[in-house]
Amino acid sequence: MPPSQNQPAHAIHPGLILFALAMGGFAIGTTEFAAMSLVPYFAPSLGIDAPTAGHVISAYALGVVVGAPIIAVLAARLSRRSLLIGLMLMFAVANALSAFAPSYHWMLAFRFLSGLPHGAYFGVAALVAASLVPPEKRTQAVARVMAGLTIATVIGVPVANWLGQAIHWRAGFGIVAVLALVTALLVRRFAPADTAPEDASPLRELGALGKRQVWLTLATGAIGFAGLFAVYTYVANTLLDVTGISGAWLPVILAVFGIGMTLGTLGAAWAADRALMPTAAAMLVISAGSLALYPFTAPHPAAFTVNIFLIGLGAGLGVVLQTRLMDVAGDAQTLAAALHHSAFNVANALGPWLGGMAIAAGYGWTSTGIVGSLLALGGLLLLGITAWDAGFQRRRAGLACA
């Protein structure tokens, strides 16, 4: 998205653009995580029990998985700025509808609609962020956008939850609609006008699906990141039944986790701009180690808190793999970037499912740490296969040239 196309270079303010894009991440992160904390309030209001209300969370994740590739392909000929504005307006409307949902089935539909723009927004925002800075700083630019989501776990989620308790659960979704509208206005004000490449087309975007490196990178994220979600989903239960402290400490524990996510994302981005694949490997090693410690730290409040922070650091894997996809996607940048968030929502479903199986088998709440560690090691194995395959392709290309 070259600034010179429609706006003079001096009118471009990368810091303000990145802030606008991060605001969208903040809105998305707030609704994604706050919805889980609002289940005890909207479930009785809609006449359903908590397990049924969990389907509302799943509907959002399904919307992300489905919406990311479809929107990326169908919007191939739109300018990135226009697409970002449109996605945030769609997100605002869907969350406003969620706030006024009259019944469980309408809520299910509105949460699915809310998830549709999620992956495409982050994918396109990452590409815009990377285009604003020199190549050696692109991962750090992407991290500043993603930091909006991680900071939401520290600030946005508690505020939305407080609104849900103090006013009504519907206010928790309403505030997200307002944040999305603010994002759309900020992007319109600060993002440079651009035009889609003349050769842009849905077929060109679909070219990403034929690249083995794209699939291997997506699989690394889907498996490697699932471990974090295996633990995060059951943190509240572990805190109450194993650590044995009051549920009033849960917001503190979640905030510590969010701080870990934020620092992990920013730190991994700095390292990835210097050595991308080694940084990805390091993040998976950190995840595997910290998750393996989970069963041993859970009975001890101080150690548990430190461990949660270390597990949060592993979230830095996301921004590293986002940049890796830019390297291997070729001309299909938008679809590959959007699919990254579909893969992470697959992780969001896979981790809790496997963790839940271990709990149901009688291994206890802390068994999710072992499940998570094995998943992180699985991601590390896939990353090794990805690196080997990339080297193999380079050697084969070299022989062909010779």
Please state, as a whole number, how many other Cβ atoms lie within 10 Å of the Cβ of residue 269.
26
Q: Which of 172, 200, 228 is the last residue of a domain?
A: 200
The answer as to whether 402 is a domain residue is: no
Same domain for 216 and 86: no
Non-local (6+) Cβ contacts of 169 within 8 A are: 38, 41, 42, 45
Same domain for 275 and 189: no
Whole-number Å distance between alpha carbons of 309 and 77:
42
Count Cβ atoms within 10 A of the Cβ of residue 41 and give its class: 0-12 exposed, 13-18 middle, 19 or more buried. middle
Tell me, yes or no, if the pTM score tops 0.85. no
Same domain for 230 and 171: no
Extract the tokens encoding 52. Answer: 């049924």
Per-position pLDDT tens, the chain of length 402: 444 444 444 456 888 899 999 999 999 988 887 776 677 778 888 888 766 777 787 788 889 888 888 888 888 778 888 999 999 999 999 999 999 999 999 999 999 999 999 988 988 898 888 888 888 888 998 888 888 888 887 888 778 777 877 788 888 889 899 999 999 999 998 888 877 666 655 666 676 677 889 999 999 999 999 999 888 878 878 888 898 887 678 778 888 988 999 999 999 999 999 999 999 999 999 999 999 999 999 999 999 999 999 999 999 999 999 889 888 887 777 788 888 888 888 888 888 888 888 988 899 889 999 999 999 999 999 999 999 998 877 777 766 665
CATH number at residue 342: 1.20.1250.20
Helix axes 317-328, 138-151, angle to 10 degrees: 140
Q: How far is CA 325 from the centre of its chain?
A: 15
Same domain for 211 and 138: no
Q: Which of 149, 182, 200 is the last residue of a domain?
A: 200
The answer as to whether 27 is a domain residue is: yes
SS3 192: coil
Domain that holds residue 363: 207-396
Q: Which of 200, 228, 244 is the last residue of a domain?
A: 200
The answer as to whether 401 is a domain residue is: no
Same domain for 239 and 178: no
The answer as to whether 69 is a domain residue is: yes
How many domains, in total, are found in the chain?
Answer: 2
Same domain for 126 and 108: yes
Extract the tokens encoding 38. Answer: 């609002």
Same domain for 337 and 306: yes
Same domain for 226 and 133: no
Same domain for 241 and 173: no
The answer as to whether 138 is a domain residue is: yes
Same domain for 169 and 46: yes
The answer as to whether 96 is a domain residue is: yes
Residue 181 and residue 61 in contact, taking contact as beta carbons nearer than 8 Å: no
The answer as to whether 288 is a domain residue is: yes
Same domain for 149 and 10: yes
Same domain for 86 and 71: yes
The answer as to whether 49 is a domain residue is: yes
Largest CA distance in the chain: 70
